[in-house]
Amino acid sequence: MNAVTADRVRKAVLVVLGLVWLAPVYLMIVNAAKTNDQYGVLSVWSPAGLGGLWENAAAAWTRGDISAGIASTALYAIAAPAIAVVIGAAAGFAIVALRLKHGFAWFVVIFASTVFPMQMLLMPLFLGYVQTGLYDTRTGMILVYTVISVPFAAFVMRNFFSGVAHHVFEAAVVDGASTWRIFWRIYLPMAVPALVAIFILQATLIWNDLLLGLTLTQSAETRPVMTALSALQSTYGGSTMPTVLAGGLIVSIPTVVLFLLAQRTFTRGLALGQY
């Protein structure tokens, strides 16, 4: 197989994979645009125009408290990853640049929190939140989202800082810079692409979270947007499927926009973090 044929095969495979990936998006848009009379009568693959899309989106926005959920989730998806990337970068800096004693053991301790599935932690987490008054509070949600974001941040930043020559740290020390100044003025600016990549991944993870939102929140002002969206199709929500799908379109827009705006930095950050 020559190079031209191989390139065509590769492009064909990518096109097929792209169409497979876009199929659920197509189904969501097509069925979110149907009216209640059209849904269930027409095939799920058959488009019926965009006549019902705005009506369904308006119903989802008002009936499911999605506006409040988006505001709360935006806070969680910005604050928690921002704190986590700084903590993860500090951990990676201490292990690699400061050559912390038993650094690898500390790294294992940090990353070991990802070993157990979240379902095992829900009950003790719920009881602890109730006892400490963190249940159904935005502070509690930011705290738990920060904790689950730190291990991945530490993992990527440790790998990133491992690729930075140690003489950079030694030269800064010789010039009289303090450890704190070296971290904030040299290492963090150097790691901006990796930090952005971590932030985007963790912000998306938090935005799409349903399990913690169902467990640790109750009020409409506190619960994340995915929890508000799930309430649309509950026994008490009683919304039709086109309305639920329109709500899904609304809540998916911010993450799509985030990836489009930071695509280059995100790709560069992932490449820099692989050592």
What's the confidence (pLDDT) of residue 80? 96
Question: Which stretches of 52-106 are assigned E, i.e. beta strand?
Answer: none
Q: Please list the ranges in the chain whose pLDDT falls under 50.
A: 235, 273-275
Using CA of residue 269, residue 213, residue 71, residue 257, what is the dihedral sign?
Answer: positive
Contacts of 109 (CB under 8 A, 6+ apart): none
Domain boundaries, the chain: 3-53, 59-272
CA-to-CA distance for 150 and 187, rounded, in angstroms?
Answer: 18
What's the confidence (pLDDT) of residue 2? 67
CA-to-CA distance for 223 and 204, rounded, in angstroms?
Answer: 16
What's the confidence (pLDDT) of residue 212? 94
CA-to-CA distance for 91 and 67, rounded, in angstroms?
Answer: 36
For residue range 265-274, list pLDDT tens digits in order: 767 666 654 4
For residue range 244-263, list pLDDT tens digits in order: 888 888 898 888 888 888 77
pTM of the model: 0.86
Which one, of 7, 153, 141, 154, lies nearest residue 74 by Cα?
A: 141
CA-to-CA distance for 183 and 273, rounded, in angstroms?
Answer: 17
Amino acid letter for position 133: G
- 59-272 adopts what CATH topology? MetI-like fold (1.10.3720)
Amino acid letter for position 157: M
DSSP character for 116?
A: S
CB-CB contact of 228 with 66 (8 Å)? yes
Helices (H) and strands (E) in the chain, counts: 14, 0
Query: What b-and-e string marks burial along 115-128, b requiring 16 or more CB atoms within 10 Å of the CB?
Result: eeeeeebeeebeee
